Amino acid sequence: MSAPAQGISVLLIDSDRECRADLERRLIGLGCEVRLAAGVADGRALLACEAVDLVVVAWTLPDGTGLEVVKYALAERRAQHAHCVFGRQAAASLGHAVQAVRAGCTGVLEQPFNDEQIAEMLLPWQARAADLAVWRRRFAPGIAGDDPALLEALRVTRSVARTEATVLITGESGTGKELAARAIHDASPRCDGPFVALNCAAIPDSLVEAELFGHARGAFTGAVAARTGRIAAANGGTLFLDEVGDLPLSAQAKLLRVLQDRCVTPVGTDTSVPVNVRIIAATHRDLEGMAETEGTFRIDLYFRLAVIPLHLPPLRERVGDIVPLARFFLHRDNAAAGTEVVGFDDSCVAALEGHHWPGNVRELANTIERAVVLKRAGLLSREDLHLFGRRARCLTPVAMPARIVPPSPPRAAAAPAPAAPSPHEREESLNLRVAMDDIERKLIERALERTGGNRTEAAALLGLNRTTLSEKLSKLRASG
């Protein structure tokens, strides 16, 4: 039988161990995530810590009735639906069933249980899953995968899209934050308005305020004409602020004012212009931690942005999605490049599932595209992926900053021992400046490789500002 309730959370409260074990087994078999409690107090304590989709309660419990838990769970929004269970010795009478429905139950279960009876209880989630799939194909086709954590993020995305609430999307680089933001906009009442995206990390601090709020002519050197800011440009639509944690404190204060007053004041003027804009922000950083320990992000702005928090899980926590995603990219890239790569051998699958994927789905997509273009036909192997840098099979490990995760060596065979350096090479290795430049070059090359050439993301991996990385690249090119 299929699993119609994959990932649905159920709290089962019953003091009858035999009944509880039977129902738990059936629910797990249908794809549910089951929590257990033996009484009213235990059930309420669990619900106070964690909301669930469905609460299933026995009519009689040692410290009260199951209906007490049902009323609490539904009134406090700790569960979406409830069912009441009647044991073999206390079959549900019509009066009991009426009481259960009046308390908020959407149905009752009677022993002996059967799969059809339980599947009927889970029908609301069958409809919900089908509805989510339709919504996803229309508004979020680029967010691929079936991991439960990702599906939950998509459910939140769909729910919040109908509202005007400000959303803070968190997740590592490459997890699809902009895709989620665009899905929220496209599925919202603002879909006919503009969607304006701004990468806060890509703008020099001195220009951030002019970029956000606009500026008057002559407001600063180089302002030869007045310019509309990104906030005003998004009027009637949605402004997406990517990497909002990189905003300087002065711009954070003014953004907070915009969120409060819904007005924007261009740089170099005293005139406030009303704006009707929804703001969606995204970051790979811990904004709350930045506010509390570093003082580099305003805590009041954090709370204004995080009205609806939405977290996108990293790819390494979605191992079951890695190979299906890789197959999707393989077919797409075959069609685009006219190649005939047919799949992955066992070593390739092991490498895909064992890699850390610091660049997440974006890194996976780039990896498969590169492998397909270079392989042209046949099966991809571990060596075809080039997961460990541009010169995968001849790179020598170097010391890396703490923020960069060193790649794991291939499991298939140990790397050959490096040849002994010549006397000339030994003399060069004693030149500290030359050695440091060489290490810096290798680290930058690896960061750019992992981020598909994206300088902003590479700078984040290296712990640098984007402008600093650009300066280093210019110097490295000049030095050959």
Does the structure show a pLDDT above 80 at 374?
yes
Same domain, 300 and 323: no
| CATH number for the domain that contains residue 469 | 1.10.10.60
Does the structure show a pLDDT above 70 at 20?
yes
Task: Report whether 262 contacts 214 (CB < 8 A).
Answer: no
| CATH number for the domain that contains residue 362 | 1.10.8.60
Interatomic CA distance for residues 50 and 30, integer angstroms: 21
List the one residue out of 321, 246, 235, 331 whose CA is nearest residue 281: 246
Same domain, 298 and 191: yes
Same domain, 164 and 298: yes
Secondary structure of residue 149 in the 3-state scheme: helix
Same domain, 302 and 193: yes
Query: Which pLDDT does position 262 carry in this prediction?
Result: 94
How far is the CA of 66 from the CAs of 33, 35, 62, 108, 288, in angstroms? Answer: 20, 16, 10, 12, 39
List the one residue out of 367, 360, 362 whose CA is nearest residue 392: 367
Counting residues of the chain whose pLDDT is more than 90, the rounded percentage is: 50
Secondary structure of residue 224 in the 3-state scheme: coil
Interatomic CA distance for residues 130 and 186, integer angstroms: 20
Q: Identify whether 457 is part of a domain.
A: yes
Interatomic CA distance for residues 393 and 245, integer angstroms: 37
Query: Which pLDDT does position 446 carry in this prediction?
Result: 80
Same domain, 279 and 307: yes
Same domain, 151 and 255: yes
Q: Identify whether 350 is part of a domain.
A: yes
Q: Identify whether 474 is part of a domain.
A: yes
Which pLDDT tens digit goes with each residue over 177-195?
999 999 999 999 999 999 9
- Radius of gyration, alpha carbons of the chain: 28
Same domain, 296 and 177: yes
Same domain, 285 and 154: yes
Interatomic CA distance for residues 183 and 74, integer angstroms: 30
Cα three-residue angle 143-385-469, rounded to 5 degrees:
75
Interatomic CA distance for residues 419 and 439, integer angstroms: 19
Q: Identify whether 180 is part of a domain.
A: yes
DSSP β-bridge partners for residue 279: 239
Q: Show which of 281, 311, 341 is a domain's final residue.
A: 311
Q: Identify whether 249 is part of a domain.
A: yes
Higher pLDDT among residues 103 and 384, named by residue: 384
The one-character DSSP state at 246 is: G
Q: Show which of 283, 311, 339 is a domain's final residue.
A: 311
Q: Identify whether 108 is part of a domain.
A: yes
How far is the CA of 264 from the CAs of 185, 193, 199, 261, in angstroms? Answer: 21, 18, 19, 8
Higher pLDDT among residues 474 and 197, named by residue: 197
Higher pLDDT among residues 467 and 112, named by residue: 112
Same domain, 119 and 155: no
Q: Could you tell me the two tokens for 403?
A: 């923020």
Identify the band that residue 409 occupies on the pLDDT scale cut at 50, 70 and 90. very low
Q: Could you tell me the two tokens for 406?
A: 């060193």
The arithmetic mean of pLDDT across residues 246-253, rounded, is 95
DSSP β-bridge partners for residue 310: 169
Interatomic CA distance for residues 456 and 448, integer angstroms: 9
Same domain, 174 and 271: yes
Interatomic CA distance for residues 321 and 177, integer angstroms: 17
Surface-to-core class of residue 66, CB atoms within 10 Å of its CB (0-12 exposed, 13-18 middle, 19+ buried) = buried
Which pLDDT tens digit goes with each residue over 381-401?
999 998 854 333 333 333 333
Q: Could you tell me the two tokens for 102?
A: 């009046």
| CATH number for the domain that contains residue 199 | 3.40.50.300
Query: Which pLDDT does position 432 carry in this prediction?
Result: 57
The one-character DSSP state at 420 is: P
In residues, how long is the chain? 480
Same domain, 248 and 186: yes
Q: Show which of 295, 311, 327 is a domain's final residue.
A: 311
Residue 464's domain spans which residues?
A: 424-478
Reported as type and span, the H/E element at residue 53 is strand 52-58
List the one residue out of 312, 314, 250, 310 whose CA is nearest residue 281: 310
Same domain, 290 and 251: yes
Residue 397 CB contacts under 8 Å (≥ 6 apart), including other chains: 406
The arithmetic mean of pLDDT across residues 297-325, rounded, is 94
Secondary structure of residue 471 in the 3-state scheme: helix
For the chain, how many structural domains are there in total? Answer: 4
Q: What is the mean pLDDT of the chain?
A: 83
Interatomic CA distance for residues 347 and 382, integer angstroms: 5
Query: Which pLDDT does position 480 carry in this prediction?
Result: 60
List the one residue out of 154, 106, 113, 149 whose CA is nearest residue 29: 113
Q: Identify whether 138 is part of a domain.
A: no
Q: Identify whether 419 is part of a domain.
A: no
Does the structure show a pLDDT above 70 at 43?
yes
Secondary structure of residue 265 in the 3-state scheme: coil
| CATH number for the domain that contains residue 23 | 3.40.50.2300
The arithmetic mean of pLDDT across residues 68-77, rounded, is 89
